[in-house]
């Protein structure tokens, strides 16, 4: 007989752990079946808008706040060398009365803090294993582990990343587009302070983005054409550091690499539905977007907060927590946020890559207007860090 739970989360990345903590803190008997990835994640995440508030509300932030750096200024610099070059645009959080847009943190520090909080919740069972079969039926979903044991619940949260088994089990298709771009990620030490500023250089292959970490450290996401990425990633540490210093125009002074490099092919993937057959998709199981504007995991955390809110409310009212009405409400509440950000980033990326002069000119004009028109800049800043429409309760600092 399978072990019975009120909800099962499959996938122990940041989105799955957040969903599991939200559900368990809301009173649901929860299991998380998540296999740790074989390689450590050397990426960082700029947590924007309500993401830090949600992590504070869930009792996670106290375990990792000291490892994060505030993000107070964001600069966009046109480094394309093209005829129609845009002016530099600077966004300052003080302009919209915020101390910071958000906080940047290494993914491994964020995941460690989530795991520490999850381990302290008595009604959350953490299972370090792969799920190998997900079988939904009319009354519930059976999840079979690699060791042969089975679990069952009326609702499963699919947080199992871009090649989601849960998504396939729910027969949910995807819309997908692969870009001819690869992101190289690395963390750096540098001799000049970053002043809590991130700088995004726009190059003909994509953005080269430096984001502050605590002290004299920053993370770099360098978007390149695939052949360039392979060549650059193969450089030894000293040569790569010199290459990074050159590409960053030495704004951070002398650069040294920290151990660990990552290469991520860029694509946009959107699930056609975010829930079906008692399975709700969160994080990259539901949507993948290129790392431009630091949106991906912020969307994933809003997914986790939203399904947590809906399932806990349904449970309190004595309704079926995996019922079609809950999944339809979840899809409706997340669709707009995910679609608008996906479309905006896709458009932004394509206008950067195009050789078509009029489009380059339009892009330059857009950035010129952002630079010159204060009210427009402030609207873009507010919408960029979080949707101005209703946010989930956790993002507003309200417990479930
Ligand atoms: C270069 C780069 C920079 C980025 N920067 C930012 C940023 O600044 N801000 C931002 O908001 N987002 C950013 N993102 C996006 C962000 O990193 C992702 O959205 C986030 O990591 C996705 O988390 P997740 O939990 O959904 O998926 P994952 O981290 O992929 O987690 C999925 C987990 O499920 C596990 N799993 C998979 N299948 C199974 C199974 N069958 N059984 C059990 N476990 C399973 C995996 O082992 C993994 O642990 C960036 C992305 C990239 C590529």
Domains and CATH numbers, the chain: 3-66+105-176+268-351 (3.50.50.60)
The band of 306, judged by pLDDT with boundaries at 50, 70 and 90, is very high
CB of 264 sitting under 6 A from ligand 1: yes
Among 223-232, 251-260, 389-398, the range scoring the smallest mean pLDDT is 389-398
Residue with tokens 């009029």, as numbered in its chain: 358
What count of other Cβ atoms lies within 10 Å of the Cβ of residue 216?
A: 16
Kindly tell me if the per-residue pLDDT of 383 is higher than 80.
Answer: no
**Ligand 1 centroid vs 133 CA: distance in angstroms?**
21
Strand partners, 33: 10, 127
* Angstrom distance (rounded) from CA 58 to CA 74: 28
Q: What percent of the chain has pLDDT over 90?
A: 77
CB of 158 sitting under 6 A from ligand 1: no
The band of 355, judged by pLDDT with boundaries at 50, 70 and 90, is low
Mean pLDDT of 370-396: 80
Tell me, what's the pLDDT at 86?
73
pLDDT tens sequence across 120-130: 999 999 999 99
Q: Ligand 1 pocket test: which of 32, 35, 146 has the largest number of ligand atoms within 8 Å of its C-beta?
A: 35
Tell me, what's the pLDDT at 282?
98
- Indicate the average pLDDT of the chain: 92
Q: What tokens were used for 188?
A: 């750096």
Q: What are the residues whose beta carbons fall under 8 Å from the beta carbon of 140, sequence distance 6 or more? A: 152, 153, 154, 278, 322
Q: What tokens were used for 4?
A: 């019975």
Q: Ligand 1 pocket test: which of 284, 304, 338, 384 has the largest number of ligand atoms within 8 Å of its C-beta?
A: 284
Mean pLDDT of 310-315: 98
Tell me, what's the pLDDT at 373?
78
Q: Where are the alpha helices (DSSP H) in the chain?
A: 14-25, 51-57, 107-119, 165-169, 226-233, 237-247, 296-316, 324-353, 357-372, 374-385
Mean pLDDT of 127-137: 97
pLDDT tens sequence across 324-337: 999 999 999 999 99
Q: Which residue has the higher pLDDT, 2 or 140?
A: 140
Tell me, what's the pLDDT at 390?
73
**Helix, strand, coil fractions of the chain, as percent rounded to 5:** 40, 30, 30
* Angstrom distance (rounded) from CA 77 to CA 89: 7
Kindly tell me if the per-residue pLDDT of 341 is higher than 90.
Answer: no
CB of 329 sitting under 6 A from ligand 1: no
Residue with tokens 């790392």, as numbered in its chain: 291
Kindly tell me if the per-residue pLDDT of 369 is higher than 90.
Answer: no
> Strand, helix or coil at 354?
coil
**Ligand 1 centroid vs 243 CA: distance in angstroms?**
28
């Amino acid at each position: 007989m399978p072990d019975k739970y009120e909800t099962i989360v499959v996938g122990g990345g940041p989105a799955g752990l957040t969903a599991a903590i939200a559900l368990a803190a809301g009173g649901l008997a929860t299991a998380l079946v998540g296999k740790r990835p074989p390689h450590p994640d050397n990426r960082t995440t700029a947590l924007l808008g309500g993401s830090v508030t949600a992590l504070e509300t869930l009792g996670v932030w106290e375990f990792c706040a000291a490892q994060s750096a505030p993000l107070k200024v964001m600069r966009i610099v046109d480094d394309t060398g093209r005829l129609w070059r845009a002016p530099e645009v600077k966004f300052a959080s003080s302009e919209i009365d915020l101390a910071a847009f958000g906080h940047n943190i290494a993914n491994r520090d964020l995941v460690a803090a989530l795991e520490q909080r999850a381990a302290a919740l008595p009604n959350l069972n953490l299972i370090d294993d792969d799920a190998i079969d997900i079988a939904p039926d009319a009354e519930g979903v059976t999840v079979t582990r690699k060791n042969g044991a089975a679990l069952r619940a009326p609702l499963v949260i699919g947080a199992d990343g871009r090649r989601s088994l849960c998504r396939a089990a729910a027969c949910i298709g995807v819309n997908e587009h692969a870009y001819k771009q690869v992101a190289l990620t690395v963390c750096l030490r540098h001799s000049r302070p970053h002043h809590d500023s991130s700088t995004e250089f726009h190059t003909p292959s994509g953005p080269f983005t430096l984001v502050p970490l605590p002290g004299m450290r920053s993370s770099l996401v360098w978007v390149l054409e695939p052949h360039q990425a392979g060549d650059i990633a193969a450089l030894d540490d000293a040569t790569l550091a010199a290459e990074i210093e050159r590409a960053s125009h030495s704004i951070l002074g002398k650069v040294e690499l920290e151990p660990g490099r990552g290469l991520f092919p860029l694509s946009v993937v959107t699930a056609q539905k975010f829930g079906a057959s008692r399975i709700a998709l969160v994080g990259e199981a539901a949507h993948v977007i290129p790392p431009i504007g630091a949106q991906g995991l912020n969307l994933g955390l809003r997914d986790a907060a939203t399904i947590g809110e809906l399932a806990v409310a349904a449970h309190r009212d004595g309704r079926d927590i995996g019922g079609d009405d809950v999944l339809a409400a979840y899809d409706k509440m997340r669709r707009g946020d995910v679609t608008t950000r996906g479309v905006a980033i896709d458009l932004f990326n394509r206008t950067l890559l195009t050789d078509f002069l009029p489009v380059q000119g339009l892009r330059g004009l857009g950035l010129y207007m952002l630079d010159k028109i204060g009210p427009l800049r402030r609207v873009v800043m507010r919408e960029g860090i979080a949707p101005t429409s209703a946010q989930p309760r956790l993002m507003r600092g309200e417990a479930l």
